[in-house]
Amino acid sequence: MSTVYPIENKLRPIVEFWSAGASGLTAGLLLSLPDVFLLTTRFSEILATFFMGWASLRFYQGYQIYRYQRYLKKLPYYALSSNKVPISHKKLFLGKGFRWEAVHTQRLY
């Protein structure tokens, strides 16, 4: 399920956990109280399976965003001994750096 959207929005509140919780609660209610919803036991089990699948999908999507946001604050370890630092009178060494792409511009915006 790798759908590519034109704008990546991973720096937002994680609302997927709310829908995952609501779907999980609905599945639990369908399994425990099928008579309240006027359903047969078999049909409530089928619906509860659907809702649990939906809840697990939404939880997985939310966890991906949570993991992305958590690792933004955690930089990888980088060390360089003083004799390995390049010496130049024309350029300044700033570290590893990275290639700036359109995705970074979208995130900055």
pLDDT tens by residue, 39-77 = 999 999 999 999 999 999 999 999 999 999 998 878 788
User: Rounded to 5 degrees, what angle do the CA atoms 100, 104, 109 make?
Assistant: 135
Residue 108: predicted pLDDT = 78
- Give 3's pLDDT tier (boundaries 50, 70, 90): low
- Confidence category of residue 85, pLDDT binned at 50, 70, 90: confident
* pLDDT for residue 56: 98
Neighbours of 51 (CB within 10 A): 20
Measured in whole angstroms, the distance separating CA 15 from the mean position of its chain's CA atoms is 10
What's the confidence (pLDDT) of residue 77? 85
